[in-house]
Chain A
Amino acid sequence: MLELRNLSWNAPDGRDVLESVNLVIPDKGLMAITGPNGGGKTTLAKIIAGIEKPSQGRIFLDGEDITDLDVTERARKGISYAFQQPVRFKGISVKDLLEIASGDTLDEEHLCLLLSKVGLCARDYEDREVNASLSGGEIKRIEIASVLARHSKIAIFDEPEAGIDLWSFAGLIDAFEDMKGENMAQVIISHQERILRVADRIAVIEKGRIREEGSAVDILPSLLSDAKCPRCPAHGMGGEA
């Protein structure tokens, strides 16, 4: 279980991006974090991964205070982070990347299993370089496979729908649904209704605060209603839910 207690974060220009955020992420299941642009979602994901340090507040993983651990140390504790824009490497193959992620060599069978979970064939991809020759959809799937290779306690996906085509998006949804069977928590930062529909829980962040959090069954109807009848920007979410 990951627990965020009174987390705050200020941008370099002094602006309050997160203010006293409290959130509990259970051991299993898919939690979607959504809300308007600029609300602090990605910052929250980066703070969990250790990429940003909170100005206030503490983070506990299974009761252990991990606030002062860096990215490497948190990764070794079982926190994974899939980038919104996956990184490309010249000279590192898909197999290399998955082996680095898993910390071990991977045989053909294991590679096949990992890549098939994201709809890719190991034979076609294991020797491909993780470079600009991969499409947005392909590299997104490989990013997810790399998280799966890690046997994480918590996997964070920052806007996985960004920059991919519709066909790949359908495949991604399937992959996230399948992962719900894994023994880990998924945290997905997303605006996409189709992702919100497969979530178990939803947290809505607005203006740096948790506006609401609860089971998807309870939260989703009001969110969708907001999206259809956007509030006046002067009074609410700005119509970008």
Chain B
Amino acid sequence: MNQNTEEILKIVSDWKGSFCGAYSIRENGQSISRMSSEHIHIEPKKDKPGLDIHVDDGTKGETLAIPACVTVPGLDDVVYNDFFIGKDCDIKIIAGCGVHNDTGEPARHNGIHRFVIGEGSHVLYEEKHIGLGKGIGRKTIDPVTVIEIGKNASMEMDTSQIGGVTDSKRVTRASVADGGRLVVHERLLTEKEQRASTEFAVDMDGKDSSVDLISRSVAKDDSYQAFHSVIRGNAPCSGHSECDAIITGNGKVSASPQLDANDIDAALIHEAAIGKIAGEQILKLKTFGLTEEQAEERIIRGFLK
């Protein structure tokens, strides 16, 4: 693997020269290294680029890493990864992605991940996206995540775009069965003239299903973000979404949360706040001896933590 790939792996997937557990590393449209474990089986798809990953029933405490790196200009990498999680599992999946571009040509990664989570299983899914390199070429990451949460199963999705990505369209769709739970934490930072759009659509189809969707974003400079979430309560269920955004400079954020209560016992809540950093927050940190710039940086770092 090349040096830029190594740099991306360290940032997005905590890579320290090797992975513990099953893994697959994708570099510039190719799987360059892959290893299954006793309970996690990784197979390449036969009909299109990507992987089929099967996790045995009862697999607990294991980790799967599937980072993807784009380090050559002009590449438009599309990959389809399907995860089939058995019953009563408890596993962690790390799926970071980075685009490194030192040229004027565009480069893009489009990862389409589908999860089918078996009854009683819990999945922690971490996804970090970053753009690197000094080139003016577009660094685009368009992740699509489709989630089917089975009976009494749950997924925690921690997704972040931590800088350098010029364009992104982030799409997440989920359905939740009886007693299932989905928790999503999204953190998004855009700066300069970057553009990012986030679309969430969750169907709570099962009795006592729930979703908690928390998005925190910062739009700096001349960047723009659009956020649209739809939570549909199709059964007795509870849904909560919270969208907080900080704007600085000429940053712009458009948020349109949508709640659809299609059942009399669907309890849905949305909270949203968009604005610049409160003056009193900056003042508070100035009374600790920070300058205005240091205070702003520290507040944003905490907000996106």
A residues engaging B (CB < 8 A)? 49, 51, 70-72, 75-76, 80-81, 83, 86-87, 89-92, 96, 100-101, 103, 146, 150
Contact = CB atoms under 8 A, between A and B. Distances in A.
A71 B303 contact: no
A91 B304 contact: yes
Given A92-B299, A96-B302, A100-B298, A87 B286 contact: no
Contact of A90 (B216, B286, B289, B292): B216
A87 B278 CA distance: 9
A49 B284 CA distance: 11
A87 B299 CA distance: 12
Interface residues of B, number: 21
B281 A51 contact: no
A100 B289 CA distance: 9
A89 B281 contact: yes
B284 A72 contact: no
Given A83-B280, A96-B302, A100-B298, A90 B244 contact: yes
Given A72-B291, A103-B288, 11 more contacts: A49-B287, A72-B289, A72-B290, A72-B292, A80-B287, A90-B216, A92-B299, A96-B302, A100-B288, A103-B289, A150-B288
B1 to A, nearest CB: 34
Nearest to B300: A91
29 contacts: A51-B283, A71-B283, A72-B289, A72-B290, A72-B291, A72-B292, A75-B287, A75-B289, A80-B287, A83-B284, A86-B284, A87-B281, A89-B281, A89-B299, A89-B302, A90-B216, A90-B302, A90-B303, A91-B303, A91-B304, A92-B298, A92-B299, A96-B302, A100-B285, A100-B288, A103-B288, A103-B289, A146-B288, A150-B288
B46 interface: no
